[in-house]
Chain A
Amino acid sequence: MTLLITVFAAIIATIVWYKSCPKDEMKVGTLCWLYWGASVMWLVDALFEYAELKEEYFMPALEDMINDAFLGLAVVALGLIIWLVILMIRDPQGKIKAVLKRKTA
């Protein structure tokens, strides 16, 4: 479930990045790397788990599924927070600088 949610987040981020290409003023590319990196890592985790559990892997308990779904959503939220922090620090459009200048002037 966590893997699925992260893969969907990665696909959506990549579509948004492609639409804003080549300028990418919102730095959506960062979000793509975050989610794709995590997706590849969780894919490996899933493959090892499948090798151990075989077909049982596809029949998780409801409680585990809910917990994994919450984790997936929390991971997506954390990815967005990391992206927001990077966006604010790099401030590619200079908007934060402009706001700060206006305040001090």
Chain B
Amino acid sequence: MACFLVPTAEAAVVTAIRKAKEHKVPSSAGEVKASENVVSIEGESPVVRKLHWLTNMLWGGSALLAFEHIWHGEVAPWFPFLTAMNDPADAAEMFHEMSTVGVTMAVLITVVWGCMVAVTNMIEKRSEAQEESSAET
């Protein structure tokens, strides 16, 4: 009904945090390298650097899910935009769906992102260790 609004809200919050973190980095922090999906700044935590992945997944998924809701006639281009809001019983069902399905969606996306960050950190550390050991020999 409107489950996509929960990941959308999370996307907005994470984007705001990411933007704030990007602006906070002082000019002396080091060289800034902007590549495809990652803005890497020396001295910056890898988790903050990889927040782009989370926002991309949240915004992308929410956009496509919003389209699905339009397809099913659950979102309308006129106020109050959500057709379920016209009837109190439908509205209650919608809020229940948001608190169950919507929250699970947001949590699962965040868990998937967390796993990706953990795995990529491990790969990065392993390759660094390999480079160090090859430099020593």
Interface range for A: 20 to 34
User: Which residues of chain A come closer than 8 Å to B81, judged between CB atoms?
Assistant: none
Q: Which residue of A lies closest to B35 (CB)?
A: A22
Q: Which of A38, A39, A42, A71 has the most CB of B within 10 A?
A: A38
Q: Which residue of A lies closest to B38 (CB)?
A: A29
Contact A37 B68 (CB under 8 A): no
A-B contact count (CB 8 A): 84
In terms of DSSP, what is the predominant structure of the interface of chain A? helix
30 contacts between A and B (CB under 8 A): A24-B36, A29-B36, A30-B37, A33-B56, A34-B56, A34-B61, A34-B63, A34-B64, A35-B64, A36-B60, A36-B112, A37-B56, A37-B59, A37-B61, A38-B65, A39-B61, A40-B61, A40-B105, A40-B108, A41-B3, A41-B7, A41-B61, A41-B65, A41-B105, A41-B109, A44-B101, A44-B108, A45-B3, A45-B105, A78-B67
